[in-house]
Amino acid sequence: MRIERDSMGEVQVPEDAYYGASTQRAKDNFPISGIGFSRRFIWALGLIKAEAARTNGDLGTYDGRLAGAAAAAADRVVAGELDDQFVLDIFQTGSGTSTNTNANEVIANIATEALGGERGSRLVHPNDHVNQGQSSNDVIPTAIHIAAAAAIREDLLPALGHLAEVLSDKASEFDDIIKSGRTHLMDATPVRLGQEFGGYAAQIEKARSRLAEALPDLQELALGGTAVGTGINAPEGFAAKTIARIADRTGIPFREAENHFEAQGAKDAVVAASGALKVLAVALFKIANDLRWLSSGPRTAIAEIKLPSLQPGSSIMPGKVNPVIPESVMMVAAQVIGNDAAITWGGANGNFELNVMMPVMAHNLLQSIELLSNASTVLNEKCVAGIEADAERATELVERNIIIITALAPRIGYDLAADIAKTAFAEGRGVREVAAEKSGLSADELDAALDLRSMTEGGVAG
């Protein structure tokens, strides 16, 4: 162990740790979940510190040699070389001050050693240098926005684009397969299997659009507001220059917040982004659950499609294969919906000039993005891309569907159509056969009205 000092006095810190006294205090204070901040968040935090140091060097806020060393140390945080030094639980101080301090101390000690100083000597100071022009209260919300915007743009939107494309391809492939529609899980008028898959593709495309609409607000950064939104102790031009550097480095059009009091006192952009993620989760749940139902059986249920067989489905029933990918996606959706509830309540706890539930909001938001990105890719590559249709089974079921009588209702009236349907069901006969006896229509008229393809194209059949 070694002795480190902060404003509250001396603390023993592991000799090999790059963090210091304040981080150790927080580590001791919050042994709650064992859940730490994600790689994306630490990357974003390092990015802020690196470009802030370069800006301070340019502005001459402190010695340029120290600023250069701090920037180089922060770049190692960006690269992931120091993730093991970020040791704090997400359930900590609601501002995330402990994690901001963790970053400051690690970067300061790395930079100090690079300049020939002794670890803990504060040649590069965590507050006076690494945190210059900043506060946890503007750094942490800035890191949340940077991490979330990058993850959505680089991971989630491309994954959804690939999924939508494959669903659209399947819609074209299955366009000639006519099958029973179902409402309330009961037989309904015919649809084409391609139409169902086209609906799934549209759901994903709309989800992509909603997420894209959330990006402009996430690309607005709180940096520059410092403690309460006034910008106290931030050098003139510091935030604008630092944010411009971050935008240039990431290729994402980040900009300074229009109103720093909104940016720090509220987390509405995070709540809105989480809402869009929740809608995507609901869409994925619906699609995955439909695939599960449509492939059910395979001998005794619907079985209109075949999912790829990936693994044995039972430890006791030989030959059983289950829809494991859809089930996995459904659990991801449940987790994301739960995350959104926590984010929503977190967003409601903006008190005066600061939200005090930022760490858990950051964790849940970034976890939701990561889960949805991975689940969309897995659903695409391991399930949707390999789906096959059973056209024979679809035809068999739709021919037995008594609800095709709906196409005759405009010609013979609802009551007679209902009587034909009930008779067909009670006697185990086909609608065409019973309609030929009761409807008074000719064979040609029945064939025209009961053409299954035309029933899927709208209008009055025949």
Tell me what pLDDT residue 434 has: 96
> Per the domain annotation, does 253 fall within a domain?
no
Q: Are 414 and 395 in contact (CB under 8 A)?
A: no
Q: Annotate 285-316 with DSSP letters as a single string.
A: HHHHHHHHHHT--SSSS--SEEPPP-S---SS
Residues 6+ apart with CB under 8 A from 159: 372, 373, 374, 376, 377, 380
Sign of the dihedral defined by the CA atoms of residues 153, 158, 161, 163, in that order = negative
Half-sphere exposure of 273 (CA within 13 A, CB side): 32
Which residue(s) pair with 5 in the sheet? 10
Q: How many domains does the chain have?
A: 3
Mode of pairing for the β-strands spanning 9-13 and 178-183: unpaired
The Cα–Cα gap between 343 and 363 comes to: 9
Q: How many CB atoms lie within 10 A of CB 66?
A: 23
DSSP H or E run through 255: strand 255-256
Both 430 and 380 in one domain: the answer is no
* Backbone φ, ψ for residue 315 (5° rounding): -85, -5
Q: Is 248 inside any structural domain?
A: no
Same domain, 123 and 143: no
* CB 370, CB 413: distance < 8 Å: no
* 91 inside domain: yes
Query: Which stretches in the chain have pLDDT values below 70?
Result: none
353-379 as b/e, with b when 16 or more CB fall inside 10 Å? ebbebbbbbbbbbbbbbbbbbbbbbbb
**pLDDT, tens digit, for every residue of 191-204?**
999 999 999 999 99
192 shares a domain with 325? yes
**Token pair for residue 140?**
């942490």
Whether residue 146 sits in one domain with residue 105: no
Q: How confident is the model over 221-280, as pLDDT tens digits? A: 999 999 999 999 999 999 999 999 999 999 999 999 999 999 999 999 999 999 999 999
User: Alpha-carbon torsion 316, 317, 323, 327, what sign?
Assistant: negative
| Judgement on whether residues 183 and 285 belong to the same structural domain of the protein | yes
Alpha-helical segments (H) within 152-255: 157-173, 193-218, 238-250
Shared-domain flag, residues 123 and 100 = yes
The answer to whether position 270 is within a domain reads yes
The tokens for 174 are: 């299955």
Task: Give percent helix, percent strand, percent coil of the chain, each to the nearest 5.
Answer: 60, 10, 30
In a domain, 300, yes or no: yes
> How high is the pLDDT of residue 295?
98
| 300 SS3 class | coil
At 202, which CATH number? 1.20.200.10
* Residue 231 located in a structural domain: no
Pairing outcome for strands 9-13 and 2-6: antiparallel
What residues are annotated to the active site? Answer: 184, 314
* 234, 145 contact by CB (below 8 A): no
Q: Which two tokens stand for residue 228?
A: 């309460």
Name the one residue in this structure whose structure tokens are 């939701």: 368
Residues 297 and 320 in one domain: yes
Q: Are residues 419 and 364 both part of a single domain?
A: no
- Same structural domain for residues 377 and 429? no
Q: Residue 288 falls within a domain, yes or no? A: yes
Q: Which residue, of 351, 367, 392, is where some domain finishes?
A: 392
Amino acid letter, 346: G
> Are the C-beta atoms of 435 and 405 separated by less than 8 Å?
yes
Say what the pLDDT of residue 301 is.
97
Q: What is the CATH number for 438? A: 1.10.40.30
Last residue of a domain, one of 345, 367, 392: 392
Residues 301 and 315 in one domain: yes
Find the domain containing 432 and state its range: 401-455
Q: Which of 109, 132, 155 is the last residue of a domain?
A: 132
- The secondary structure element, H or E, covering residue 221 is strand 220-221
Pair (35, 168) in one structural domain = no
Compute CA distances 410 → 406, 416, 448, 455, 458, whole Å.
8, 11, 13, 13, 13
Entry pTM = 0.97
Contact 299, 307 (CB under 8 A): no
Do 10 and 111 belong to one domain? yes
Residue 245 lies in a domain: no
